[in-house]
Structure 1
Amino acid sequence: MNDALLAAFEEELAILYERAEEFAVEFPGVAEQLGGLKRGTADPGIKALLEGAAFMAARVQLQLEAEFSTFTTEFLDQILPGHLEPVPSLALLAALPSAGSDADAAGRLVPAGSIAESTHRDAARGVACQFRLTSPIALWPLEITAAEYLPSAAAMQALGVGSGPQVVAGLKITLKRLAPGGGPEAKVRPIGELKLDDLVLHLVGQRAERDAIYEQLFARLSGIAVRYLNETGDPRAARLPASAVEQIGFSPDEALFPPDDRVSPGFALLREFFAFPDKYLGFRLTGLGAALCGVRADTIDLVFEFTEVAASLGARVSAKSFRLFAAPAVNLFEKRCDRIRLTADRHEHHVVPDRSALLEYEPHRILGVTAIFSGKADGAPVLPLHAPAAALDATGGKRGGSLTYTARRLPRRPTDQERRHGSAPAYRGTDLFLSLGGTAAEGLDAAPRELAVTALCSNRHLAGELGRVPGGGRMRLLGNSELPLDTIVGPSEPRESVVAGPPRPGGPQRGEILWRLIGFLSFNHTGLASPDPKAGAEALRAVLSLYADLSDVAAERRLRGILALCCRPVTRRLRRPDGFHGARGVEVTVTLDDAAFEGAGVMLLGAVLERFLADLSSVNSFTETVIETPARGVVKRWPPRSGTGPVL
């Protein structure tokens, strides 16, 4: 029995006995005819009657309480779409290309949206997990043969790349072109023949090491040199500006989850950062086409020059700290669910992706619903109840004359086997139910017979278990079995829906999360600015806590490490197409505690906050974000950025 139902039943039964005793005192004769109404002396029939009434009253009480959850979830799903969905398993996948060929000089592209399938299959149903790449992978006949961190100015000067006096440390990454065939007698080909302009590298290894490299690249970088040896063996270098190093993972085209116009891009960034921060830990090096033009060597050194030394790196950097040809992937894929047969005795209909594998698939989001009618070749589109007028016009529907649906997410019920043996996956997941409403369009007089549903689905708990299975991280691309992929980060454990899933140990309860989400609506009126820096930090922590996994002690400690948030108006000269103009904006200084971010670093959170804060600014204004710590002072000052992109 549900614990809440049992508590409500006992409460209602106690109230009934209390009222019965009051009745017996006032009307003792009638009470005696009924066999006594006291708890210990009541007639068995009267006792059963009271218990039945208490049970029904408890059910009604729980249903009334559930109406709050039903209303708020429907309401929040419209204004904060995606926030009530479970977080599927996420991973960082790397392609393993074979030895280069002449055709590889132009590169090969694995587009974003490609599906990678695990080579391991579920023992019970033979289901393979599918991951969708969220970023493209450009394949080149290159490999990283060495990498080292140079912690002194002398080591940098010895490279002969013309480093300035401000350079006190550096990072050297050695790239080698793979010869066609890959054998020892294969002909060496110049790296300058590659039509290579951009190169993406992901940081792998220990999180503390990756964050230290990330901070060096985006807070301490002064320039880049592409070093190689000419035909006589003398070192030569082509220079690139520090702006040639760009952040990855922030573009809308690289989003982990399906975008929604109702969600601000800044809040979408926060959600993805707390779900899978590894997607941002890397960089894109641009402008290589001009630097490599005419290079006859097959090996080059990418030398990054820094103005400060990161003592924590030392000898910990190696070729294994970087990975080429990698991209984030999410366990979400489009699937046609089994047809739903409509019956008059049901007002809700269970969306089942595959009846032969009930526990191996979980519907994540409805993409489309089509009503199937008897005797009709074509179906009619069924739109969400709150679909905008533009969606109705696009499908030919008419307001007041089209079929609509609402979706409700509920915790998955344990199977008979799980109840019998008491064994269930750590991730239980949810089930999705559709309710049909509205009327059929013109020409469709009969009620629909079936519903055809297309949904984004996940593999429920299976994807999170791949990391515990020998060989579970090996993947292959659907449609290209010759290109294997390896999992270098993850797959992560899926996270329950904040509303429908059972509360995690140490985490907030469902009702608390609902109230926090509703309270979040006041953020549009209150904002983050406050005369008291501590109050500003508290407001920022409240926003971030909606996305962080508070059952994780490290995540909670980092939130407490936000010490202050101070805002002050500033005036800057900004570059416009017609010249420089003065503009008024806000300088936002966020103070973070290094000790709270031990093992993670403050730079990555600062980079995400910089974009988030800029998204809150008005069109004709800007934000200038500063990240500082009590121990080190200013870590990074970003240039002014408006809500639509950088203005400097």
Structure 2
Amino acid sequence: MNPRLLELYNQELHHVRESAAEFAKEFPKIASRLTLSGMDCADPYVERLLEGFAYLTARVQLKLDAEYPTFTHNLLEIAYPHYLAPTPSMTVVQLQADPDEGSLSSGFTLERDTSLRAALGRDTQTCCEYRTAHSVTLWPLQVAQAEYFGNPSAVLGRLAASEPRAKAGLRLTLRTGAELPFNSLALDELPLYLNGNDEQPFRLYEQLLGNVCAVFARAPGGDWVERLPRTPCARAVSTTATRRCRWCPRPSRATACCRNTSPCPTASCSSNSPSWGARSSAAPARSWS
């Protein structure tokens, strides 16, 4: 038997007695025939009748409460069908390539559905296994610096002067390994994973897609600067070919998200939003920005 039945029974009985007291006060002649006077009832038969009524209404209330999850479930299925969908176990895996490995100049692809096994714990016999949700290509690249700033003119100088609307910026400095120049990499696209706590990655992702004023690429020392197309997926340009830099938010589905979290050789992005922006220009050795 449900333990809440007794609680509901006492609530219903108390309510019936309060109602009986109000009835006796409003209609004293009829209440006297029912031997109702205030909260007490002198007639044991009437008292048992009230208790039986409280028991039945408590069962009805318990049944209504049990149907409430079914009602809300059906309502959510109509209003927000994906909310109740089962969410599989997932994780984000950081893959690190050796930046000094020269054979990576053409990239190394880890195919989708590649099995990844976790190390066994001290008292465990079964390891946790995931499969990658999509293919990941590793490159001999690393992020030397990532900097957000709120005063583009003080950091970027004449680059910021060309975009007076810019109120914030993001600068990424990238380096290659094994003394490789960027134009030696057979690189068509490089996902950038935005990592952070709570809603920070989503806010940054929104700004990069919706509020970018300009994108620039700059060589070490600033002797080469190029303005890049302002598109939702910022395009970074090298000296020999056009490179596409895809900004990727925190993964939202899949059993495992396996991304190379060494972010991309982006360029210079500027944003007209003061809270989060993007303007990036880089000046590393053997690097893009």
Deviation at 1:201, TM superposition (A): 2.0
Pair 249,209 (structure 1): closer, same or farther in 2 beyond 3 Å: closer
Write the distance in 2 (CA, Å) between the matches of 1:312 and 1:249: 15
Tell me which of 250, 253, 256 is aligned to 2:253: 256
1:286-365 alignment, distance < 5 Å: 302-306=266-270
In structure 2, the partner of 1:240 is: 228
2:115–2:132 contact (8 Å) kept in structure 1? yes
In structure 2, the partner of 1:224 is: 216
1:115–1:133 contact (8 Å) kept in structure 2? yes
1:123-138 alignment, distance < 5 Å: 136-138=135-137
Deviation at 1:79, TM superposition (A): 5.8
More strand by share: 1
Pair 51,178 (structure 1): closer, same or farther in 2 beyond 3 Å: farther
1:167–1:305 contact (8 Å) kept in structure 2? no
In structure 2, the partner of 1:455 is: none
Write the distance in 2 (CA, Å) between the matches of 1:147 and 1:75: 45
Deviation at 1:9, TM superposition (A): 0.8
Q: State the one-letter code of the partner of 2:187.
A: L
Write the distance in 2 (CA, Å) between the matches of 1:309 and 1:138: 33
Instruction: Please list the CA deviations of residues 196-253 of structure 1 after superposition, one character each: whole Å capped at 9, or x if unmatched.
Output: 1112223445779865796477524323225258xxxx94455531225155349xxx
**Are residue 70 (structure 1) and residue 66 (structure 2) matched?**
no
Pair 310,13 (structure 1): closer, same or farther in 2 beyond 3 Å: closer
Pair 240,7 (structure 1): closer, same or farther in 2 beyond 3 Å: same
Tell me which of 185, 196, 201 is aligned to 2:192: 201
Partner secondary structure for residue 60 of structure 1: helix
Partner secondary structure for residue 82 of structure 2: coil
Deviation at 1:304, TM superposition (A): 0.4
Pair 142,154 (structure 1): closer, same or farther in 2 beyond 3 Å: same
Partner secondary structure for residue 268 of structure 2: strand
Deviation at 1:128, TM superposition (A): 6.0
Write the distance in 2 (CA, Å) between the matches of 1:249 and 1:205: 10
Instruction: Please list the CA deviations of residues 160-196 of structure 1 after superposition, one character each: whole Å capped at 9, or x if unmatched.
Output: xxx48514686543322223xxxxxxxx344323211
Deviation at 1:117, TM superposition (A): 5.5
1:25-36 alignment, distance < 5 Å: 26=33
In structure 1, the partner of 2:138 is: 139
1:226–1:302 contact (8 Å) kept in structure 2? no
In structure 2, the partner of 1:8 is: 8
1:142–1:178 contact (8 Å) kept in structure 2? yes
In structure 2, the partner of 1:177 is: 176
Pair 172,66 (structure 1): closer, same or farther in 2 beyond 3 Å: closer
1:227–1:302 contact (8 Å) kept in structure 2? no
1:116–1:130 contact (8 Å) kept in structure 2? yes
1:105–1:140 contact (8 Å) kept in structure 2? yes
Q: Decide which structure has the larger Cα Rg and report it.
A: 2
Q: State the one-letter code of the partner of 2:136.
A: I
Deviation at 1:63, TM superposition (A): 0.9
Write the distance in 1 (CA, Å) between the matches of 2:115 and 2:5: 44
Pair 236,312 (structure 1): closer, same or farther in 2 beyond 3 Å: closer
Write the distance in 2 (CA, Å) between the matches of 1:122 and 1:51: 59
In structure 2, the partner of 1:81 is: 81
1:167–1:307 contact (8 Å) kept in structure 2? no
**Are residue 60 (structure 1) and residue 72 (structure 2) matched?**
no
1:444-483 alignment, distance < 5 Å: none
Partner secondary structure for residue 242 of structure 1: coil
In structure 1, the partner of 2:238 is: none
Equivalenced residue count is 243
**Are residue 166 (structure 1) and residue 162 (structure 2) matched?**
yes
Partner secondary structure for residue 109 of structure 1: strand
1:95-110 alignment, distance < 5 Å: 95-99=95-99, 101-110=101-110
Write the distance in 1 (CA, Å) between the matches of 2:79 and 2:113: 27
Q: Which has the higher contact order (CA 8 A, sep 6+)?
A: 2
Instruction: Please list the CA deviations of residues 422-451 of structure 1 after superposition, one character each: whole Å capped at 9, or x if unmatched.
Output: xxxxxxxxxxxxxxxxxxxxxxxxxxxxxx
1:221–1:304 contact (8 Å) kept in structure 2? no
Pair 69,213 (structure 1): closer, same or farther in 2 beyond 3 Å: closer
Q: State the one-letter code of the partner of 1:166.
A: S
Instruction: Please list the CA deviations of residues 104-158 of structure 1 after superposition, one character each: whole Å capped at 9, or x if unmatched.
Output: 23323345666656547596x7676666765653321211123446755575468
1:554-633 alignment, distance < 5 Å: none
1:167–1:308 contact (8 Å) kept in structure 2? no
Write the distance in 2 (CA, Å) between the matches of 1:152 and 1:92: 32
Pair 140,19 (structure 1): closer, same or farther in 2 beyond 3 Å: closer
1:177–1:189 contact (8 Å) kept in structure 2? yes
TM-score of the superposition, structure 2-length normalised?
A: 0.54
Partner secondary structure for residue 248 of structure 2: coil
